[in-house]
Amino acid sequence: MKARPDSAVGEQASAEPENATKGTKVPPVRKPSEKKQATPAAAKSTPAKKSAAAKKAAPASKKTAPAKKSAPAPTPKAKAGAKPESHAALVRRARRINRELAEVYSYAHPELDFENPFELLIATVLSAQTTDLRVNQTTPRLFAAYPTPEDLAAANPDEVEELIRPTGFFRAKTKSIMGLATALRDNHGGEVPGRIEDLVKLPGVGRKTAFVVLGNAFGVPGLTVDTHFGRLVRRWKWTEETDPVKVEAAVADLFPKSEWTMLSHRVIFHGRRICHSRKPACGACPIADLCPSYGEGETDPEKAKKLLKYEMGGLPGQRLKPPPDYPGKPAPPLGAA
């Protein structure tokens, strides 16, 4: 079965202010609005009498200094004692976040280079414990040497190990990709199956890998729960689950099935570019006003801009062959300066 062109898998870009240093666009930050302090009832009307202690504490010759204005609330975190967010409210907020991300990342796409389902399957397995960039820099030689499952199944393991060495864990990965190539040759006529039940039976293939292939090579909706996806949905309080299968079920309950694949791309894009693990760029985040965790990272807009990665920071992306509408620079080949 032929893969759909990966440039059509999903796409998005916003009209944000320009990054002064790199000339790229940075998403506008919606800072939470400043909350007005409620005027105390005592301030509305002058009390008829003052206590003797109050008169001594405040001499008549001096006016009382005006109260200092409180700083704007930096985050929409729930106040102590406030009612927990209802499921309906959670669905509305989650879907609004998805719409906002769709505007910012209108060009979102799978960040692995591939030409067909077999290449995407192999690349996804190789992407474990490394970056998509390193996989994209490694697979051209691998696919040139072994373009089909039959070729890879009959390969010399030592030669495969040497080709995929840059991705790390190359011995275990060689065993997985040669094993799945053999299974495709022997059990599926050399074709990648289009059902999750068949995909997860292949060596080295779990639900995450299966949904990457199904969503981007076959157009079957699925949620890709990787480390970025799990981190962000917990920060947004969509779920508190840590098990990927439970995270998948919780998030699937918030969105129509038709949104699952593109939602995965948008969330992962946001996690890689702005909402980083150790130091999120809160001051450059376009959904700051919707995030219960705003303030965990750098909130100063100028400092936050320096934390942006890939095209958001004016740097090369992860793909050597990005889609035509990608606004950033292609990644360099392995070994290039």
What are the DSSP calls for 140-163, one per residue?
HHHHHH--SHHHHHTS-HHHHHHH
Q: What is the dihedral of CA 110, 111, 114, 115, to 10 degrees?
A: 50
Q: Which of 151, 198, 226, 289 is catalytic?
A: 226
Which tokens hold the place of 2? 């032929």
Q: Which of 25, 173, 208, 305 is catalytic?
A: 208
Residue 151 annotated in active site = no
CB 227 within 8 A of CB 63: no
How far is CA 134 from each of CA 42, 112, 140, rounded to the nearest angstrom? 65, 10, 11
Q: Which residue has the tokens 């995450």?
A: 208
**Distance, C-alpha 5 to centroid of its chain:** 22
How far is CA 100 from each of CA 18, 65, 88, 202, 272, rounded to the nearest angstrom? 19, 43, 19, 37, 17
Q: State which H helix or E strand residue 136 sits in.
A: helix 132-145
What 3-state class would DSSP assign to 121? helix
Residue 208 annotated in active site = yes
Which tokens hold the place of 277? 């693990």
What sign for the dihedral angle of Cα 312, 313, 316, 317?
negative
Show the DSSP H helices in 25-86 as ranges. Answer: 41-44, 52-57
Which active-site residues does the annotation give? 208, 226
